[in-house]
Amino acid sequence: MDNNSFEVIRENLRVIRENIGEALGKYRSSGDNTDIMAVTKTVPAETVNCVFDLGLSLLGENRVQEYQSKAELYDKRADVHFIGHLQTNKVKYIINSMSMIQSVDSFKLAQEISRLAVGNNKVMDILCEVNIGGEESKNGISPDELGGLLQQISSLEGVRIKGLMTIPPPADSDIYLGRMQELYNRFRDEYSMDTLSMGMTHDYVQAVKYGSTIVRIGTGLFGARNYK
C-alpha cells in the first residue's frame, strides 16, 4: 500500500472522528461513546491492516467466503464482527474466529449458532437484525416480531444477546433511526443490551444522534470500492 493511499484513509478517519465527536457533544449524554467499525467488503487485507496503526481494531465482514480468503492476512489486533446475511450452513466457518454476529434474524440461525458455540465451549455475542423499514430487499426481523424472537433466543445456551442492528431506508433515515432507538430502549433493560449498531457512510452522524454505539463505515473510510 502506497503512502498516499494511507494518508487518504488517515484523513477520512480524522473527519469521521471529528463528525462523531461533534454529534456526541450535541446530542448525547456525557460519557457516551460510538465505536467506528471498518467495513472490509472488497477491500484488500493490506489496505484494511493500515487502520490498526490509526487506532481502529473493529472490522465488519459481509461475506464468509471473502473473510476466509483474508482472515490469515489480517493484523492480529483485529476484532471481527459478521454483519452480512448469514446462512446456517456457514456459521461453522466463523464460530471460532469472530467475536460477534450482528445479523441474527431468525430463531433457526440462532439455534445453529448456539449448537456450534456450545460444541466449541464458547459464548457467541449476537445482535438481532431488525428490518426497521419493512423493505422486501433487506433481511431482518420485523419490529413487531422482535419481542418474540428475543424471548426465544434468550432460552438458548451459548449465545448472548448484546443488542440490535439495522440498515434503515436511505430516504427519511431520521425517522427510521428514531424508531430503532425507541425499539432498542424498549428491550434494553429486559435483555441487558448495550449495543445498537446502525449508521453507515451516508447516515452515521444521524445514527449517533439516535443512540448508535457502533457505526459501520466502508466507503467513507476506504473510498469508493470495486464491488464484486
**What DSSP string describes 48-70?**
HHGGGGGT--EEEE--HHHHHHH
Strand stretches in 72-111, DSSP E: 79-82, 100-104
Torsions phi, psi for 151 (to 5 deg): -65, -40
Is residue 227 in some structural domain? no
In this structure, how many other beta carbons lie within 10 angstroms of the beta carbon of residue 176? 24
The number of domains in the chain is: 1
pLDDT tens-digit readout, 50-73 = 999 999 999 999 999 999 999 999
Whole-angstrom Cα distance, residue 16 to residue 129?
A: 24
Is residue 158 in some structural domain? yes
Is residue 228 in some structural domain? no
In this structure, how many other beta carbons lie within 10 angstroms of the beta carbon of residue 124? 25
In CATH, what number is assigned to the domain containing residue 9? 3.20.20.10
Per-residue CA distances from 65 to 84, 96, 103, 178 (Å): 12, 15, 16, 34
Is residue 89 in some structural domain? yes
The pLDDT profile of the chain, 228 residues, written as one tens digit per residue, is: 778 899 999 999 999 999 999 999 999 999 999 999 999 999 999 999 999 999 999 999 999 999 999 999 999 999 999 999 999 999 999 999 999 999 999 999 999 999 999 999 999 999 999 999 999 999 999 999 999 999 999 999 999 999 999 999 988 889 999 999 999 999 999 999 999 999 999 999 999 999 999 999 999 999 987 644
Whole-angstrom Cα distance, residue 37 to residue 170?
A: 19
Whole-angstrom Cα distance, residue 151 to residue 79?
A: 28
Is residue 188 in some structural domain? yes
Nearest to 212 by CA among 22, 17, 16, 28: 28
Query: Residue 196 belongs to what domain range?
Result: 3-222
Is residue 86 in some structural domain? yes
Is residue 180 in some structural domain? yes
Whole-angstrom Cα distance, residue 120 to residue 158?
A: 9
Whole-angstrom Cα distance, residue 84 to residue 31?
A: 30
How much is the pLDDT for 134? 94
